[in-house]
Amino acid sequence: MTAHPQDGTQPPSRRKFVAASAAVGAAALAGTAGAAAAPAHARPTVTARTAAGRAGAVCTPIPNKYDEPFEVCDDELFVFMANYKPFENPGFFDAVIGDALRAAFPGLKIKAAAWDRPIRYEDLDKAGVVPDIVIEDPRRRIDRDLEPRGWTRDLTDDVRSAGIDLGALNPAAVAQVRARSDGGLYGVPLFVDDFVLLHNKKIFDMKGLRPPRNGVTYDEAFRLAKKLTFEKNLVAYKGYLQHPDLYLEFNQLGLYPFVPGASESPAPEDVRVDITSAGWQRLGANMERFLLHPHNIFTSVDDYLLTGSVAMAVDSLWKLNAYALSPLYLQQDDAAQWRELAKKVEIGVTSVPVLGQGESGTYQPNTMAAFLPPQSTKKAQALQVLKWLVSQEGQVELARHGMKPALRSRAVEAAFGSAVPELAGIDTSGIFWGDNAVVSGYENTEYWDLPLYMVFRQHVLKDGLKVSSALTITETVDIPKYIKSQVELGFDW
């Protein structure tokens, strides 16, 4: 398991614990909670005990590196969340969905925690505790974290029996989950932390230029970038920053780097990739010009806020809420600094640029989905909670708090940001403009977290290769070398 190299900024604040242990539930589900979930691994020497003040409840302590008390009781529905940073903020879960769940289900207890404070996946493993609902990134984490633990099961029949209408959800998000579900459906999309184009109106005003609009093309964005890359009073202004790794990984053509084979679980030596075909070459050439434009040096998209001298930057939706200084999205360690930095920025936001005139394809969706592990003995409750989460009522709650729900409806769009006063005055129509690219060609493939950062950040920006050459060397040398190294470390993904 390897992490992408950092892209040149200070490290983020340490992850924080999100606790939302509260009495919630539904009268229809009251009394159906079972015993503690059977462990995915052998149960370690952790002693369960009866919870004080809760007759008959058996609780399992979960030791952790922070030495903070944490336990899960068998009369609670346990929700574990990972890989969506705002979930780490104290109170975030309650505010965006927990309080609404209490109102919808007044009889069910729920405990929610986010990786990694105080617990991580490995802590749950050691304690023999399996969540009833896991909210995770399906694109990377099904193969990395959920399948190896046996926490996935095909939900196709459950979704049908519960009356969950997948057709009403973002089709690209559903496709993304299916892409990693071995021919089934391991999870249901809840929301999309989509990518958007942020711009600083102050810099556009300095040059007397109009900000971009929804549907702006990369050609138009590049013309703006050239005009907005300049120096004034010993300050270097950059016209445009876009993370090149994410640009390839979430590419707007829906291209998948893996070549379909004969099995959903090919042996490592049978994994084949293609990042040199015409579509990949088009993507590469499109980005290369931005990265090589004089003085528009790529550092980090975080510089949009950190320096205040970046005219345009493609970043994820939660950053919009944080840069607008919504307390929900500000981590305690960052809040004071970000409030000061924000004085240099007048936020504007549109859809990410499209590849060509008249096109409407945005990034593949940065999806967060709900998974219901088979070890849970609260499957009925978890399924009903999931049904509510993707209902219009639940999805409107997410939209109100500045998240892009998986459900497509006018009510959802109309509700966006209404509970985030800091977004007032910011045109957020770009959040719902266009269509997320739908991934294709994923059948009979196994996901590996490929080192696509080698293309631009190593071979183009450091080695000085043309992007066509960079794609070739990454496909023929770097990726096979990476897979071999992972196999030698004992990984098969």
Write the DSSP symbol of residue 259: P
Measured distance CA(313)–CA(303) in Å, rounded: 9
pLDDT in the model for residue 48: 63
Write the DSSP symbol of residue 89: S
pLDDT in tens, 425-461: 999 999 999 999 999 988 888 888 899 999 999 999 9
* Tokens linked to 374: 């088979």
What are the beta bridge partners of residue 238? Answer: 310
Model's pTM, two decimal places? 0.88
Quick one: average pLDDT of 4-14? 36
pLDDT in tens, 282-337: 999 999 999 999 999 999 999 999 999 999 999 999 999 999 999 999 988 889 99
Question: 3-state DSSP call for residue 59?
Answer: strand
Helix (H) or strand (E) holding 313: strand 312-316
Lowest mean pLDDT among 32-46, 112-126, 421-435: 32-46
β-bridge pairing 347-351 and 195-200: antiparallel
pLDDT in tens, 199-209: 999 999 999 99
Q: Residue-wise over 428-448: b if at least 16 C-beta within 10 A, else e? A: bebbbbbebbbbeebebbbbb
CA atoms 456, 462, 468, 470: torsion sign:
negative
Q: Looking at the predicted structure, is the pLDDT value of residue 221 above 70? A: yes
CA distances (Å), 67 to each of 19, 63, 118, in order?
Answer: 16, 7, 8
pLDDT in tens, 229-280: 999 999 999 999 999 999 999 999 999 999 998 887 888 888 999 999 999 9
